[in-house]
Amino acid sequence: MDVDGKPVLQFASNDYLGLSGDRRLIEAACRAVRLYGAGATGSRLLSGEREVHRELERALAGWKGCEDCLVFSSGYLANLGTIPALVGKRDLVVGDAYNHACLRGGAELSGATHRLYPHGDCSALERLLIEQRDRHRRCLICTDSVFSMDGDLVDLARIADLARRYGCMLLVDEAHATGVLGPTGAGAVEQLGLTRSLVQMGTLSKALGSQGGYVCGSAELVDYLRNRARGFVYTTGLAPATAAAALEAVHIARTETSRRALLRQNIARLRAGIDKIGIAQLPSAAAILCLRVGDIEATRRFAGELFDAGIFAPSIRPPTVPTSRIRLSLMATHSEAMIDSLIAALTKVSSRFS
Ligand X SMILES: Cc1ncc(COP(=O)(O)O)c(C=O)c1O
Interface ranges with ligand X (CB under 6 A):
74-76, 100, 102, 144, 148, 173, 175-176, 203, 205, 213
Q: What's the min distance (Å) between Cβ of 307 and ligand X?
A: 22
- Least separation in angstroms between residue 72's CB and ligand X is 8
Name every residue whose Cβ is closer than 8 Å to that of residue 326 and which is 6 or more positions away in sequence. Answer: 290, 291, 293, 299, 302, 303, 306, 313, 314, 315, 316
DSSP 125: H
Least separation, in Å, of the C-beta of 144 and ligand X?
Answer: 5
Closest residue to ligand X using C-beta atoms: 75
Q: In angstroms, give the least distance from the CB of 175 to ligand X.
A: 3
For residue 248, what is the DSSP state?
Answer: H
How far does CA 130 lie from the centroid of its chain? 29
CA distance 40 to 104: 29
Residue 103 or 160: the one with the smaller Cβ distance to ligand X is: 103
Residue 194: CB minimum distance to ligand X, A: 18
* CB-CB contact of 92 with 129 (8 Å): no
Is the CB of 278 or the CB of 319 nearer to ligand X?
319
Return d(Cα 185, Cα 237) in angstroms, integer.
Answer: 26
Amino acid letter, residue 30: C
Q: How far is CA 283 from the centre of its chain?
A: 17
DSSP 86-110: H--TT-EEEEETT--HHHHHHHHHH
Is 66 or 102 the residue whose CB approaches ligand X more closely? 102
Q: Where are the alpha helices (DSSP H) in 99-200?
A: 101-110, 122-132, 156-165, 188-192
- Which lies closer to ligand X via its Cβ, residue 185 or residue 346? 185
Distance (Å, whole) CA 205 – CA 202: 9
Q: Which is nearer to ligand X, 20 or 148 (CB)?
A: 148
Q: Cβ closer to ligand X: 74 or 110?
A: 74
Cβ 353 to ligand X shortest distance, Å? 28
Rank residues 176 and 325 by Cβ distance to ligand X and give the closer one. Answer: 176
User: Rounded to the nearest whole angstrom, what is the least distance from the CB of residue 100 to ligand X in the complex?
Assistant: 4
